[in-house]
Structure formats: structure tokens, C-alpha cells
Amino acid sequence: MFSRPVPTFRSSYSIAAPAFANFGKLWALANLLFQVPLYRSEVPDRIRRSWCRDFRSAVLVLPLGLIASLSPVAANAAERPVVVELFTSQGCSSCPPANAYLNEMVKQRRDVLALAFHVTYWDRLGWKDPFSMESATDRQAVYGRRFGDGSYTPEMVVDGASSAVGSDRGQVGSAIENAKRNGQTAAAVNVTRTGDQ
């Protein structure tokens, strides 16, 4: 009768983690992957150790290669879009051309983040815009005080820095180009880290 040798399982072992704190979890994962039992009788120690070492090296090097290959994408992702806000209402008879222009921007321009805010002050004329929000009216009032031109529709605010009649493609287009050149919004944004958060 043919008898096979009884397989013996290797005990798990670990290599000291590198000094880089960021790789600690990745190193622990690589060690965990190699705690799978292997048959000593079928795989010589020399080959098993070599393969484990090569895999651990690959686990550490592959993420670095991935980061390096994505660096052009990350550079493009850092370019933020220009925010264009249209203040409009369904009760406004001069708003449809501005709405159409905003829709064109959504479909054709990847450098613009187009937002539509339906205001409530047209609701008092009998037709209630189902998309109108009091917060949109308040937002436009803040811009009206900032720019000194009050609240009107259709109004497009570009990057919070300039205002134009929403259907005036020339003025809105030049405001978008100015915002792209400046690369800054009217609001100052500061990010600080406090402790672990």
C-alpha cells in the first residue's frame, strides 16, 4: 500500500517591519499573507523563503509604482473647476436663455462646475416654482450686497468673485476665463490639522 508522508506545516514567522511608519500596515499584511500553511515536504525551505521575500518586496514596490504612474492624473485633478452659479426661476420670462447656456456648460465644459439656484421672489406672482428655495434667495442677497447690484434673474455669479446677466454669454465667458487665470475664489479657505483629525 502506498503511503504519503504526513505534511508538516510551517509555523508563521515575521520579518521585522521597516522603519517607515507608513508601511507598517502594509508590511503586516504581507506577513499575514504568508502565514498560510505550506507543505514542507513539497516545497524546499530555500524556495519558499525566496518566494516570500520576493512577494513582500513586490507588495511594497507596487503601490509606489502606482502612485508614480498616477502623478499626471493627480496634477490634473488638482486643477479645480470654475464655479458658476445661476440664480433663476420658472416664473422669470427672461431666464430660459440663461438656463440653456448653463445646460450647454454642463454638457460641453469640464472646467466649469455649474449650479442652478431657483429663487423664491418670483413665487409671489401666482406661479410657484417647485424648485425654489429660500436659501437660494438668501444666497443671492449676500452676493447682491457684495457686488452692490441687488438681486435679479437671471444672474450668474462666477467663482463668487463677479456677477453678470446670465444670458450674456460674452460677459459670463470672460468672467470664467478671468477666474481660470486667477485660480482663486472670493472665499479664503484654510485647512489646519488638529491632533488626529
DSSP state at residue 32: H
Average predicted confidence (pLDDT) for the chain: 74
Q: Can you give the pTM of this predicted structure?
A: 0.57
- Residue-level pLDDT at 39: 46
Residue range 141-183, pLDDT digits in tens: 999 999 999 999 999 999 999 999 999 999 999 999 999 998 7
The alpha carbon of residue 120 and the mean position of all alpha carbons in its chain are separated, in whole angstroms, by 31
Q: Half-sphere exposure of 135 toward its Cβ, with a 13 Å CA cutoff?
A: 2
Distances (CA, A) of 187 to 130, 160, 183: 30, 7, 12
pLDDT in tens, 79-102: 789 999 999 999 999 999 999 999
Give the Cα separation of 40 and 43 in Å (integer): 5
